[in-house]
Homo-oligomer: A and B are copies of this chain.
Amino acid sequence: MAAGRPYEGFFDINDVHEYLRIYESHVRSLSGGDEKQVHRTLLQYGRTKGIIHDLIGRNLSTDEGIHVDPESIVVTVGCQEALFLTLRTLRRDDRDALIAPMPCYVGATGAAALADMRVLPVAEHTAGIDLEDLERVVKEAKADGLRPRACYVVADFANPSGASLDIDTREALIRLAEKHDFLVLEDNPYGLFRALDSESTPTLKALDGDRRRVVYLGSYAKTGLPGARIGFAVADQRTASADGRTGLLADQLAKVKSMLTVNTSPIAQAVIGGKLLAHRHSLRSANARETELYQGNLRHALNELARHFPDDSRPEVTWNTPAGGFFVVLTVPFAVDDELLMHSARRHQVLWTPLHHFYGDGRPRRQLRLSLSYLSPDEITVGINRLADFIREQCDVQSLQKGIS
C-alpha cells in the first residue's frame, strides 16, 4: 500500500496503436491529406510547446470549465516537468521562494530543491491549507527580504493528506495571491476521480478567470496513460522575463524547456491526443470504470479500518475520510520511521509510506499513508489485516517498554 500508481487492470496495448491512428487521421484531415505534414508532425522534432495543445484546451474546457488560449499551454514530460519548468522560470536568485502546505507531495519539494528554490512551509488543517498561517509566512518572508513567488497546492484530494479546499478557501487563496503578488500552482492529478454522482467544486484555475493568478499543472498519467508521460502547464500570465521583455509565461517555460528536453515526444503526445479525440475531449466519462474502482477501494479501505479499529478501541488508531484521491492517512500511537517500515515489510509483508517523507525534515511522525489506487479490494483486505497486526504488535512493544521503564 505504498505505490501511488494508477490501477493497470484496464490498460490495453491495442489502445496505443488505436490512439496513434486516430491522432494520425486527425492531423491528416487538418492538413488536407498532406502525408509529408502527417509524418513530419508525428516523427520529426517539433514545436517546443507541443502539438496537442488545442486538444488539451478543449479537454480543460469540457471537463474542468477552464477556458484558456491554447498558446498558453506547454505540453511536458509528465506533470513533473511542468512543475520544474515553472519553478526554474520563477526562480531568479536565492531570494525567490515557494510556499508549500505541509505535508506536501515530494515531487513539489524535490523540484524546488532541483531549481535551487527555498521552500516556505505552511500549515495544513483538515480543510486544506491554513490561510492565516499562509499570510503570516508570506509577511515574514517579505520582511526577511525573500520573494514568495508561488504557492503550490493540490486543491482536490491532496497527496498525502486527502484534504480538499472548499470554494470559499479557493477564492480566498486567489485573493491572497493577488494581495501579496504571488502565483498559485494548482496541481490536479486526482480531481477527475471524484464520485460520479458528486458535485464538483470548480478548480482554482476555473475561478481565476482574468485575474491570471493560477498556473494549472495537469497530468494525463492517471487519466490518460502513465506510459505516455504526458503532462502540461497552463501559464497564461503576462510577465517580464529576465531580459526585461514582457511576454506569456508559457513562452518563458518553453525557453527553459528547449534547454531541458527540447520538446515532448510527439509520438507520446499522439497517444494522449488520440485518446482525447476518441472520447470527444472528455476524460471524465472515459474514466468511469477507474473512478468507480478508486471510489470503491477508498470505501472498502475505510470499512476495513473501522472493522479492525472500532470506535473507542485500544490501541487508538484514527484516520481521515477523504472523498476521493488515492490515499488514506492513519494516525497511530507510536512514531513511524523507515526502520519500522522495513520491519513491517519483512515481518508483516505490508508496505506503506511514513508521513515524515512528506515533511522533508526527517523527523518521524505518528502517521503513515496508505495508497489504494493500485490494488484490488481483496488485496486491500489482506493489506489492512497485515497492517492491523503490525500496529497491534507495535503498541504491545510500546506498552512493554513503558512497563520496563
Contact = CB atoms under 8 A, between A and B. Distances in A.
Contacts of A80: 259-262
A268 interface: yes
Q: Among the interface residues A20, A78, A268, which one has the most CB atoms of the partner chain B within 10 A?
A: A268
A45 interface: yes
A13 B40 contact: no
Closest 7 CB pairs between A and B? A110-B259, A229-B265, A43-B227, A77-B261, A265-B268, A11-B43, A45-B226
A266 interface: yes
A12 interface: yes
Contact of A226 (B12, B43, B259): B43
The A interface, classified by DSSP as helix, strand, loop or mixed, is helix
A24 interface: yes
B267 A39 contact: no
B262 A227 contact: no
B44 A227 contact: yes
A259 B111 contact: yes
A301 B72 CA distance: 40
A236 to B, nearest CB: 23
Nearest to A5: B45
Nearest to A45: B226
A60 interface: no
B110 A258 contact: yes
A84 interface: yes
A225 B42 CA distance: 10
Interface in A35-51: 36, 38-40, 42-46
Contacts of A77: 77, 261-262, 264-265
Q: Among the interface residues A11, A45, A227, A228, which one has the most CB atoms of the partner chain B within 10 A?
A: A227
Given A80-B259, A261-B229, A265-B229, A24 B13 contact: yes
13 contacts: A13-B24, A13-B38, A13-B39, A13-B42, A16-B267, A46-B227, A77-B262, A78-B261, A78-B262, A80-B262, A84-B259, A116-B116, A267-B268
Given A39-B12, A77-B77, A114 B259 contact: yes
Contacts of A40: 8, 11
